[in-house]
Amino acid sequence: MRLIIACGFVFGFLCLSARDADSLHPRGDDTQTFSAKDRQADLARLRNFVYPQGYSDETIVSLENDKVPDGLPVEEYARLHCGESTRFVLHPCILRYAQKGRAAYYVIAQDGNRRFTDLKSAAAYYRDRVSDTTAHFEMEVSVMNMFIDEFCAQIAAGARPRDILEARGGDRPRINHPIAPTDPTAKYQFSTLFSSDKCADCVGIIAVNQPMEAPPPTCGALRKQSVPHLAYFVVSRTLSKGHRSLDDSIDEFTRLAVMP
């Protein structure tokens, strides 16, 4: 399952995806590596827009060269697989992994990642964060679509786009709590997390948006956003099963999260 790594939802729906991040990575020459010294502009872009906050330049350079630093904890690497960037968590996740032979839990979600040592608290926090993000996401999509309807109606009546925006004081609705669909071309693939010896027995849930096909442009190149339809995939090294219900996914996760 390949996932989008970073996306900025602004007016016009400008999107920086893992496909763009891939374009920064050298191709066609196995001896060529991503060099911080030679590619400062690219490194700044990766640090400021793509990678989660707190990643050092050395870690980013290593990851761009397809080398996972030995000291990078499972929960930190999971941030990449869950699509965390400097602004968004595109796929809110919960992960059960082993820490000194005992179960540990890490929730990666908009507005706050947290570690837990007990399953009940971790699942409750994950449910709370996903529910809150979903409510905001659905509201933001609705507000965005109403704005586009109004914007296009005013253009059809003869107004100029610049005048419409100036009349609003430059204010435009934004989607600040996106939950993204999967992207088959994305660089980071959630399933690769389980190929690591550190996560051989990990179990997780990942939230994914499965929207209907995007509607045709309303005016010019502007399209309304599709209504979100969320699914929750319970995943491990050998499992990837989707659930329409958050509660159903948590029930299965709870069953599988018992340490062997």
| The residue type at 187 | K
Sort strands 203-209 and 114-116 into parallel, antiparallel or unpaired. Answer: unpaired
| DSSP H/E element including 128 | helix 119-156
pLDDT at 66: 79
d(CA 3, CA 16): 13
Q: Domain boundaries in the chain?
A: 73-256
Strands 203-209 and 230-235: antiparallel
Any bridge partners for residue 99, and if so which? 102
pLDDT tens, position by position, 167-192: 988 788 999 999 999 876 665 557 77
Is residue 19 pLDDT above 50, yes or no?
no
The answer to which of 97-106, 181-190, 205-214, 238-247 has the lowest mean pLDDT is 181-190
Q: Is the pLDDT of residue 10 over 70?
A: no
Give the residue with greater pLDDT, 203 vs 170. Answer: 203
The average pLDDT across 204-231 equals 90
Report the DSSP beta bridge partners of residue 209.
230
pLDDT tops 50 at residue 14? no
Q: Parallel, antiparallel, or unpaired: how do β-strands 102-108 and 114-116 relate?
A: antiparallel
Q: Using pLDDT thresholds of 50, 70 and 90, give the confidence band for residue 205.
A: very high
Mean pLDDT, range 233-256, rounded to an integer: 92
What's the pLDDT band for 37 if we cut at 50, 70, 90?
Answer: low
Report the mean per-residue pLDDT for the chain: 82
